[in-house]
Amino acid sequence: MTFEDYKNELIKTALAKDPALKSEDEAINFSPGIRALLAHYKAHNLYMSGEFAKADEISLKSRMETGIEIHPGAKIGRRCYIDHGMGVVIGETAEIGDDVLMYHGVTLGGLVNKRVKRHPSVGNNVLIGAGAVILGNIKIGNNCKIGANAVVLEDVPDDCTAVGVPAQIIKHKKYNK
């Protein structure tokens, strides 16, 4: 996927997921989530080609501009959108699926200080509420909702809603029909 294709898809996604955005121009010029994700696209490609210093420079400039910190090594799927965004932190080994919506203050962080997979993997079609903290090499399944300010320390299966500190599953498609 080219940068332009990614950019156009991201703008359409933002307009669909954020009712406050009224035009493509407004989305591209004033949405910190879009700006951070576009910078990440460039930084990630540099990171994957071994140009770590250039990738880190783009990432740092983006963080200073948007308040959103995405490590260039993080893998982010298509049509992901960060609404509001301030204070979002996405660690180096985090993996985010397609069609994920996250709000401000979300942390996808690590628990160990070693060069291993130490950040969460988030499935497709996941909503992560404001201030949620998801820590460690855990998996958030597809079609999940993580409540605002939840602290998630264990895997969350597909089709679940998890809330609280520590997060507990309060709704599961299999059991709540």
Whether the Cβ atoms of residue 123 and residue 106 lie closer than 8 Å to each other: no
Number of structural domains (the chain) is 1
Domain assignment of residue 177, yes or no: no
151, 125 contact by CB (below 8 A): no
Q: What is the CATH number of the domain that holds 133?
A: 2.160.10.10
**Given this model, what pLDDT does residue 176 score?**
57
107 assigned to some structural domain: yes
Mean pLDDT of 101-128: 96
Residue 148 CB partners (closer than 8 Å, separation 6+): 103, 129, 130, 131, 132
pLDDT digits (tens, 9 = 90+) for 11-69: 999 999 999 999 999 999 999 999 999 999 999 999 999 999 999 999 999 999 999 99
The pLDDT score that the predictor gives to residue 171 is: 75
